[in-house]
Amino acid sequence: MLRITETVSIPESELRFTACRSSGPGGQHVNTTDTRVTLLFDVEGSPSLTELQKVVVQGKLRRRMDKRGVLQVTSQVYRSQKTNRESAVDRFVELMQWALTPVAPRKETRVPRSAKRRRLERKQRTAQRKRDRRTPDISDY
């Protein structure tokens, strides 16, 4: 049982794993062993999530999901299939925790009066500096 949040736990029986060959350098080991692990989790068909949780997860993790609503997490960091499997599960838990954490509403704040005053003074100093750089107008003499 994977504990995601205080209220959400997902049994490992809902997770499916597939293995294939990793990419990148590694010589004969990489060419002969299936060390890359892909974790598959059917968000739409999961009895562990409420409808609202499913919608939230699908919204936040839509780039990692296919058209059928299956979440995919891949790991190919390690040379061992077992370690990559553990890594994929850890990443899955992190992603689900992030997706299911509610976003705190933004508090509206006002810009302080002193900050507005400083900004205007800075603008006036910059404008004066640019005026001072100009060549004098002959008609003024």
Q: What residue type is assigned to position 131 of the chain? A: R
Over residues 48-54, mean pLDDT? 81
Q: Residue 60's closest CA among 68, 71, 51, 49?
A: 71
Domain locations in the chain as residue ranges: 2-100
Distances 136 to 57, 124, 131, 132, 139 between C-alpha atoms, Å: 65, 20, 10, 9, 9
CA distance 1 to 16: 14
pLDDT at 24: 58
For residue range 94-137, list pLDDT tens digits in order: 888 888 888 889 899 999 999 999 999 999 999 999 999 988 87
Burial 32-49 (b: 16+ CB within 10 A, else e): eeebbbbbbbebeebeeb
* Secondary-structure class of domain 2-100 per CATH: alpha beta
User: What pTM did the predictor assign?
Assistant: 0.62
